[in-house]
Amino acid sequence: METAMTTVRQLPETKQQIETFAHQLEQGLIKGEIIPTDLLRFQKAMEKVFEKIKPILIESAIVEVEHYEKNPIIKGAEYSIIEAGVKYDYSVCNDAKWNDLSREIESIKEKLKERETFLKSIKEKIEIIDTESGELNVIYPCIKSSTTTLKVTFK
């Protein structure tokens, strides 16, 4: 009986195997031997699988790695238990200066968002007189850029 791990064990697991596998897939795409949408679907499926199991996988792997010496190399991969994504909560410090600065930042962010909404609405250059300085400012439409990609949705 085939298990999920039987399938996973067929995938590359060393640095060299990963390079070779990636090269073979790339060449297959270039030569037209691989249907791109098939490969993209498989890639997205594996992404979703590992997204789903990542919390329990990391937790279990940490427990296993803790049984070894520091930074063990297991089957060609080094494992290091690290603290990542460290965050500090300054709101609990009761520091009036920090609280004031934080409020100022939020106020400025809101004003900036409002201004960006206005700038996005401009379709052609406009001339505006600055009420404080009396200067004439020419404002141009902002430049929109994006990246074309392919969204894959499993049904």
pLDDT in tens, the chain (155 residues): 689 999 999 999 999 999 999 999 999 999 999 999 999 999 999 999 999 999 999 999 999 999 999 999 998 899 999 999 999 999 999 999 999 999 999 999 999 999 999 999 999 999 999 998 999 999 999 999 999 988 888 88
What does the pLDDT read at residue 84? 92
CA 17 vs CA 5, 70, 91, 95, 135: distances in Å: 18, 26, 48, 54, 64
Q: What is the CA radius of gyration of the chain?
A: 27
What does the pLDDT read at residue 1? 60
CA distance 76 to 115: 53
